Each structure stands twice: as C-alpha cells, then as structure tokens.
Structure 1
Amino acid sequence: METYTALRHFADSWGLLGMTFFFLGVVLFNFRPGAKKAAAQASAIPLKED
C-alpha cells in the first residue's frame, strides 16, 4: 500500500509537471522555423515512387 501512495504522490506532482514540459516541448518543436518544410517533405514520402 505504501508503494501505491508514493507513486500516486509522484504522479500528482512531478509526473504532471514532466508531462506538461514534454507537451510544451513538442508544441514548440512543431512551431519552430523550418518545421513546415520538414513536415511537407515527410508527408510526401508515401507518394514517392521508387
């Protein structure tokens, strides 16, 4: 029971903070300069013929 309580407190505090920073990092990564060109190239990969 003590392990569950400790993990629950960790998830409620540091886990939530870590997930928030991860989410913000992903959003900022996608809105960085140059991301549009990279996304356009990646989206064209399935349509390229060998």
Structure 2
Amino acid sequence: MSYDALRHFADSWGLVFMALTYILLIGWHFLPHGHHASKRAAAMIFDADPEKTEADHG
C-alpha cells in the first residue's frame, strides 16, 4: 500500500471512525447506567477515604 493510498484511506474512513467513536463516547453518558456512573465519578472526590490520613497527602 502506497503512502497516497494510505493517506486517502485515513482522510476518508479515519474521519468517519473518529466521528462515530466521539458520538458513541458522548452518547454513553446519556444512557441510564452511564449517567449514574458519571454522577458517581463526579462526586468521588468528595467521598471520605478511611484508609488515607493527612500524612498521606504530604
């Protein structure tokens, strides 16, 4: 496969693949289980971790 053929393939189908991947990843958060996981991940920094102490943070 020559460079020009590879470049043409990447310009056409690579863009389609990246667009579909983007739509899939963004759409995942609007599903019920994806929305719940996103909310849990967003609030994770506010949860107390009983195993860590002040000394662990420097």
The answer to whether the superposition gives a TM-score over 0.5 is: yes
1:30 to partner: Cα distance: 1.4
Amino acid at match of 1:21: L
- For structure 1, the 5+ residue unaligned runs are none
Which entry has the higher C-alpha Rg, 1 or 2? Answer: 2
How many pairs were matched up? Answer: 49
Tell me which stretches of 4 or more aligned residues in structure 1 moved more than 6 Å.
Answer: none
Quote the sequence identity (%): 37
- For structure 2, the 5+ residue unaligned runs are 52-58
Distance 1:39 1:28 in 2: 12
Please identify which structure carries the higher helix content. 1
Name the residue aligned to 1:34.
33
- The TM-score, its normalising length taken from structure 1, stands at 0.69
- The TM-score, its normalising length taken from structure 2, stands at 0.62
1:13 lines up with 2:12 in the alignment? yes
Distance 1:12 1:23 in 2: 16
